[in-house]
Every structure is written in structure tokens, then in C-alpha cells.
Structure 1
Amino acid sequence: MSARDWQKSSFSGEGNACLYVSAPDNATIRLRESDEPDTILTTNPTALNALIRNAKAGRLDHLSKG
């Protein structure tokens, strides 16, 4: 997959903390981080939308508490 297939998140700043997204078709979304570019998570629009909604609503906050 070439670099032009990936779009950098507008919330990512400069440096090594960047999130990249690729949607090669309507059913697949790929995510990767700039510091681990060979590790790619694959999901679908419905699942990603649910994850974002739940994160915004604070329903995942307990996962970051240690």
C-alpha cells in the first residue's frame, strides 16, 4: 500500500503521534499509527462509527484508568 493511499488525521500534529486512515472501498477502513506503520487495524464503517460514538460519550473512559 503506497503512502498516497493513507490520509493523516487532521487532529494529528507533527512528529510520531499521527493516525492515518485508508478506505480502499466502501466496506473497509484501515487505521495505522505513524510509529508502527506496519501494524494495520482493519474495521468497517459501522464498527468505527460505534467506537467513535462510544468514545465521545465517555463510555470507554474506564479502559484508560489503571
Structure 2
Amino acid sequence: MAEIHWEDPFCGEGNNCFRIGTDAEGNAYIAVAGQEDRPLVDSTDALRALIREIKAGKADHLL
């Protein structure tokens, strides 16, 4: 696996913390803080699109 450069954990209310990371090959990673050995992986463009959709409220029904 490529070397992942993780951002500091982002924690919402309670104990819901996750981390976002990238590697030199253009991949983006999302993992639950403390479980970085099991990330979801996709392109940075896909991660960017996901974050935009969440900010636009398109995932509110999941909460």
C-alpha cells in the first residue's frame, strides 16, 4: 500500500471521528480514527465530489 498522508482527525458530536488522507498516486482515503489500516479508497476527485454532496445536504437523510 502507498504511504498515506493523514489529516488530523475530524470529530463530530460524540465520538464520531474520521480521518481523510491522500497519497502521491492521487488516491484519497477515509477511515474511522484509530482504524486507518482499513480505509475506503477512491480518487481525490471522487472524495471531493462526496464532500460537496454532503455539504449540499444530500446525505442528511442518512443521519
**TM-score, L = length of structure 1:** 0.62
Identity of aligned residues (%): 34
Q: Which range is displaced more, 25-34 or 48-57?
A: 25-34
Q: 3-state SS of the aligned residue for 2:54?
A: helix
**TM-score, L = length of structure 2:** 0.64
Instruction: Kindly name which structure, 1 or 2, has the bigger radius of gyration based on alpha carbons.
Output: 1
Return closer, same or farther for 1:26/1:38 CA change in 2, 3 Å cut-off. closer
CA distance in structure 1 between the aligned counterparts of 2:25 and 2:34, rounded to whole angstroms:
27
Structure 1 segments, 4+ long, off by >6 Å, are none
How large is the RMSD of aligned CA atoms in angstroms?
A: 2.7
Higher helix share: 1
Runs of 5+ unmatched residues, structure 1? none
Runs of 5+ unmatched residues, structure 2? none
